[in-house]
Amino acid sequence: MDLRRLEAFCKVYELRSFSKAGKELYLSQPTISAHISTLEEELGVQLFDRLGRAIMPTQAGEVLYRNARDIYDLINKAQSEINLLRDKVVGDLNIGGSTIPSHFLLPEILYEFCKKYPDVRAHLTVGDTESILNKVASGELILGLVGARMDMPNIEFIPVMRDELVVVAPPVLVSNYRSIEDIQQLAELPWVMREGGSGTRKAFEAALSELGTSIRDLNVTVWVESTQAVVQCVKAGLGISVTSKLAAAPLIESGELVHITSLPLNLDRSFFLAHLKGRKFFPAVRYFIDHVKQYAFEGSPS
């Protein structure tokens, strides 16, 4: 099977257009059509349904595209391995990070990695833990650095570094409390809470469960979708919350937030590198995993 014809097929499949595929590959539309027709003759099946101006892949087209991606992965792997023999680590690094790693860990990690391997092109996707893991599971991302494990049997989780969660409050909200030592006192206060897919939220839920309670017992008045929103809502006086010490430390040091330290909550957690079990890694990915482990060994920011 001619790889040029296969490339034309993949572009038509992805763009759902013969003309757009031709522009992308710098080929005429008749050439693209000829490539597809030849492939259909070779395989003895129709790869696309022509529905007026629209086209849709047939079931055979879906099968061919799925396997064509594997073929190109093997070709890229071969090229990367050969480049590695020439002492070069090259290629695309498609990784994802949940909120805390993306904002407070990955920028420095990627900076040092790309400085060491300038021929690697890094692509960072940011989301909550659940969305990043779903992208890893689907193959859209090769790796994800996330703040919690999830029950996903096809995903391998590599613990790489520790994190400390902290309960923070605006000074005005806790000024009448000499200390906050039990969950009942917490339940009396308004809470700012992360959404369900957050690793921070999952770690907090686990800590509450150890005390025989849950988020349902708290007075949650504001739900937000990012760490920055949590910190700013707490700072504005909307309630107390739990977040990574990495995010809260500057405001705790400046006195804009109060760190509540007297609670019997286990708020330690790990960050994990997540990947599909059995997935073959290009050199850039293998070197990146080693780089993250080395970063964790030498000590992440406190």
String of DSSP letters for 146-215: ESS--S-TTEEEEEEEEEEEEEEE-HHHHTT-S---SHHHHHTSEEEEE-TT-HHHHHHHHHHHHTT--G
Domain architecture of the chain: domains with CATH = 3-84 (1.10.10.10), 89-161+270-298 (3.40.190.10), 163-268 (3.40.190.10)
Query: Is residue 224 within 8 Å of 192, Cβ to Cβ?
Result: yes
Q: How far is CA 241 from CA 12, 163, 294, in A?
A: 49, 16, 32
The confidence band for 114, taking pLDDT boundaries of 50, 70 and 90, is very high
pLDDT at 301: 43
How many whole angstroms separate alpha carbon 205 and alpha carbon 210?
9
Rounded CA-CA distance 156/275 in Å is: 6
Can you tell me the mean pLDDT for 265-269?
Answer: 83
Which is nearest to 91 in space by CA: 104, 103, 77? 77
| Contact predicate 283/84, CB 8 Å | yes
pLDDT of residue 32: 92
Q: What is the mean pLDDT of residues 147-157?
A: 92
What is the pLDDT confidence band of residue 86, given thresholds at 50, 70 and 90?
low
Q: Is the CB of residue 161 less than 8 Å from the CB of residue 147?
A: no
Q: Tell whether the model's pLDDT for residue 97 goes beyond 90.
A: yes
Give the model's pLDDT for residue 183: 67
Average pLDDT taken over every residue of the chain: 88
Q: Are 100 and 246 in contact (CB under 8 A)?
A: yes
Tokens of 150: 């999830």
Band of the pLDDT at 180, cuts 50, 70, 90?
Answer: low
Could you read off the pLDDT of 5-42 as tens digits, one per residue?
989 999 999 999 999 999 989 999 999 999 999 999 99
Residues 180, 166: Cα–Cα separation, whole Å: 14
pLDDT of residue 74: 84
Q: Which of 4-8, 173-177, 246-250 has the lowest mean pLDDT?
A: 173-177
Rounded to two decimals, what is the model's pTM? 0.67
The continuous run of DSSP H or E covering 62 comes out as helix 59-85
Alpha-carbon radius of gyration of the chain = 25
Q: Give residue 249's pLDDT band: very low, low, confident or very high (50, 70, 90).
A: very high
